[in-house]
């Protein structure tokens, strides 16, 4: 299972568990909270009525008072109130009054007058100077039919002469409880979904950051160029820095070992030739033969110098992970510099150099590397161009194209032309080059994010330099 999925599942488990317990706890507190609030209102109402009823109960005129009519009219009222989006169209209080013995004197429901209510807790406790309240089901089989009763004493000085009870069915509170629970559930589920989305985003970000570092490590292990992932800070930045440092240490060691081995192998042949010629020159020989051996020493020394210079240039670009600068390089000025450098060879071979480039063409890149790469291509093309041949530099879309009139490259060699130290014999001399020029060009193109392609076309060979960006502009 992927790390990102594991992180998300763990986050999902803890967020879901915490959300469930929170919603469950709050939901369980809604019902008693609403009822406690209602009970507090009933206490206030009962005590207010106790003060209003005191005079009539004390004088024994309660039956002759207008309270019966008032309570009857009260029970018929239609408030038409909109409370939190819920319509209240009837009143739900029941009010009854008892004397000091618990006998009902007045009942807004008109059903208990004359009955003995002294056994009910609201009456029993209130008449004894305690807080009297009870919750009783009107239908014993229906738990939702419970009714809250709250009593308040009717006082004559310090003496309790009766009590008044205000009752309210819990069923009337249920719509508000249900609405609160629904809103809470919707809000809680929304928060849980938001939390899970945040968790998914966090998991994606973390795994994406780790994946970038993994791809970097894989590219390094395959010997490919790769830019070190950029992190703003924290453990990932430290890990990336440590991986980059390890890469530089390992690559440096392997690179030195590989180059020492390669250099030793490539230097054997010219050194052997120089040493053999030097040993022969120590003895007497005709001047003409002596001159030939001196020329051999000079030629092999030049070959050594060229090999070392090209190896150093190649080592420089191979160790690069990116360009040191990116500027607009005018192609026309660059071509003039290259032609000036190669003019002696061009004139000696009577090669005709043609350009078919739009005026003002520029390449975005590092000037030194582009100049070296194009110079290597031009040098290689001149090696294979016949006397009186044609070289042509043109632009094809985002590709610089160098054509040189020459014999076709053998099919077996096409795929190996940019390999290090691989070279074909030159037509004029039969000798091979260092085999580093095209490899250098390929490395430079990779640094610029481009590609090198060499192929046979009608009448010669074509080298294409493809640049991925659109900054080749006129």
**Same domain? 354 vs 306:** no
Q: Is residue 161 part of a domain?
A: yes
Residue 420 has pLDDT above 90, yes or no: no
Distance CA 385, CA 411 (A): 19
The CATH number for 84's domain is 3.30.450.20
> Which whole number is the average pLDDT over 251-266?
52
For 167, phi and psi rounded to 5 degrees?
Answer: -120, 145
121 and 175 in a single domain? The answer is: yes
Rounded distance between C-alpha atoms, residue 177 and residue 179, angstroms: 5
E strand intervals along 283-346: 327-330
Q: Does residue 265 share a domain with residue 249? A: yes
Checking if the pLDDT of 118 tops 80, the result is: yes
Q: How far apart are the first and last CA of the chain?
A: 52
Whether residue 319 has pLDDT greater than 60:
no
Answer whether 390's CB lies under 8 Å from 358's CB. no
DSSP, res 473 = B
pLDDT band at 102; cut points 50, 70, 90? very high
Query: Of 179, 201, 236, which one is at a domain's C-terminal end?
Result: 179
Q: Are residues 334 and 392 in the same domain?
A: yes
Q: Out of 254, 289, 321, pick the residue that ends a domain.
A: 321
The yes-or-no verdict on residue 255 having pLDDT over 70 is no
The reported pLDDT for the residue numbered 253 is 47
pLDDT in tens, 31-72: 677 777 788 888 998 999 999 888 888 888 887 777 777 777
- Count how many domains the chain has: 3
If asked whether residues 230 and 165 sit together in one domain, one would say: no
Q: Based on the domain organization, do 331 and 316 belong to the same domain?
A: no
Are 168 and 273 contained in the same domain? no
Considering the domain boundaries, does residue 218 fall inside one?
A: no
More confident residue, 457 or 5: 457
Both 29 and 165 in one domain: the answer is: yes
Tell me: do 259 and 334 sit in the same domain: no
The pTM of the full predicted model, rounded to 2 decimals, is 0.43
User: Minimal CA–CA distance to 32: which of 177, 178, 179?
Assistant: 177
What pLDDT, on a 0 to 100 scale, did the predictor assign at position 131?
Answer: 92
The C-alpha atoms of residue 208 and residue 227 are separated, in whole angstroms, by: 16
Please write down the long-range contacts of 174-182, taking CB distance under 8 Å and 24 or more positions apart: 174/144, 175/86, 176/34, 176/83, 176/84, 176/86, 177/30, 177/31, 177/34, 179/84, 179/85, 179/86, 180/30, 180/34, 181/27, 181/30
Q: Which of 76-90, 414-428, 457-471 has the lowest mean pLDDT?
A: 76-90
139 shares its domain with 229: no
Q: Say how far apart CA 429 and CA 376 lie, in whole Å.
A: 19
Question: Using 50, 70 and 90 to split pLDDT, how confident is the model at 430?
Answer: low
d(CA 311, CA 303): 12
Both tokens assigned to 424: 């074909």
CA angle, 339 then 345 then 351, to 5°: 80
Residue 239: CATH number of its domain: 1.10.287.130
Q: Are residues 175 and 231 in the same domain?
A: no
Which of the four pLDDT bands, split at 50, 70 and 90, describes residue 209? Answer: confident
CB 57 within 8 A of CB 65: no
pLDDT beyond 90 at 286: no
Task: Please report, for the domain that includes residue 407, its CATH number.
Answer: 3.30.565.10
Q: Which of 302, 321, 340 is the last residue of a domain?
A: 321
Is 474 part of a structural domain of the chain?
A: no
- Percent of the chain topping pLDDT 90: 10
DSSP strand pairing (133-137 vs 352-356):
unpaired
Q: Does 270 reside within a domain?
A: yes
Q: Give domain status of residue 5, yes or no.
A: no
Is residue 229 assigned to a domain?
yes
Q: Between vectors from CA 233 to CA 232 and to CA 239, what angle results, nearest 5°?
A: 115
The parent domain of residue 371 ranges over: 327-466
For tokens 């005079």, the residue is 55
In this structure, the answer to whether residues 156 and 229 fall within a common structural domain is: no
Q: What residues have CB less than 8 Å from 256, skipping those under 6 apart?
A: none
Residues ≥6 apart with Cβ < 8 Å to 7: 199, 202, 203, 206, 207
**Does residue 216 lie in a domain region?**
no
Alpha helices in 155-173 (DSSP H): none
Arithmetic mean of pLDDT, 347-359: 85
Cα-trace Rg, the chain: 50
Residue 470 is predicted with a pLDDT of 42
Residue 356 lies in a domain: yes
3-class secondary-structure state, position 31? helix
């Amino acid at each position: 299972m992927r790390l990102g999925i594991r992180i998300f599942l763990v986050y999902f488990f803890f967020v879901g568990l915490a959300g469930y317990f929170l919603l469950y706890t709050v939901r369980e507190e809604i019902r008693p909270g609403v009822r406690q609030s209602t009970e507090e209102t009933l206490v206030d109402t009962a005590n207010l009525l106790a003060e209003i009823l005191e005079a009539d109960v004390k004088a024994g005129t309660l039956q002759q008072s207008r309270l019966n009519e008032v309570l009857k009219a009260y029970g018929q009222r239609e408030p038409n109130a909109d409370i939190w989006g819920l319509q209240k169209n009837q009143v739900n209080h029941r009010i009854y009054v008892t004397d000091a013995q618990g006998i009902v004197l007045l009942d807004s429901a008109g059903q208990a007058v004359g009955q003995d209510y002294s056994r009910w807790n609201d009456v029993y406790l209130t008449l004894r100077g305690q807080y009297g309240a009870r919750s009783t089901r009107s239908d014993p089989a229906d738990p939702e039919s419970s009714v809250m009763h709250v009593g308040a004493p009717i006082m004559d000085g310090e003496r309790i002469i009766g009590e008044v009870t205000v009752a309210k069915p819990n069923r009337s509170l249920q719509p508000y409880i249900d609405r609160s629970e629904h809103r809470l559930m919707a809000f809680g589920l929304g928060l849980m979904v938001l939390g899970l989305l945040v968790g998914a985003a966090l998991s994606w970000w973390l795994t994406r950051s780790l994946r970038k570092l993994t791809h970097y490590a894989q590219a390094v292990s395959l010997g490919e160029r790769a830019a070190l992932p950029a992190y703003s800070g924290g453990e990932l930045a430290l890990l990336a820095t440590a991986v980059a440092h390890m890469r530089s240490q390992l690559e440096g060691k392997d690179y030195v070992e590989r180059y020492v081995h390669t250099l030793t192998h490539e230097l054997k042949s010219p050194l052997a030739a120089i040493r053999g010629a030097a040993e022969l020159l120590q003895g007497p020989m005709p001047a003409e033969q002596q001159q030939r051996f001196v020329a051999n020493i000079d030629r092999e020394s030049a070959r050594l110098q060229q090999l070392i210079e090209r190896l150093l240039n190649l080592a420089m670009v191979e160790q690069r992970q990116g360009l040191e600068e990116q500027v607009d390089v005018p192609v026309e000025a660059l071509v003039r510099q290259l032609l000036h450098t190669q003019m002696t060879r061009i004139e000696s071979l009577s090669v005709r150099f043609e350009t078919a480039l739009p005026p003002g063409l520029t390449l975005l890149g590092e000037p030194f590397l582009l100049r070296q790469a194009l110079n290597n291509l031009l040098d290689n093309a001149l090696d294979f161009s016949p006397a009186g041949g044609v070289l042509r530099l043109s632009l094809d879309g985002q590709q610089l194209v160098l054509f040189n009139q020459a014999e076709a490259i053998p099919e077996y060699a096409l795929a190996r032309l940019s390999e290090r130290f691989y070279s074909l014999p030159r037509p004029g001399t039969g000798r091979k080059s260092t085999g580093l020029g095209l490899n250098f060009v390929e490395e430079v193109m990779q640094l610029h994010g481009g590609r090198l392609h060499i192929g046979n076309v009608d009448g010669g060979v074509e080298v294409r330099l493809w640049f991925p960006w659109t900054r080749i502009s006129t």
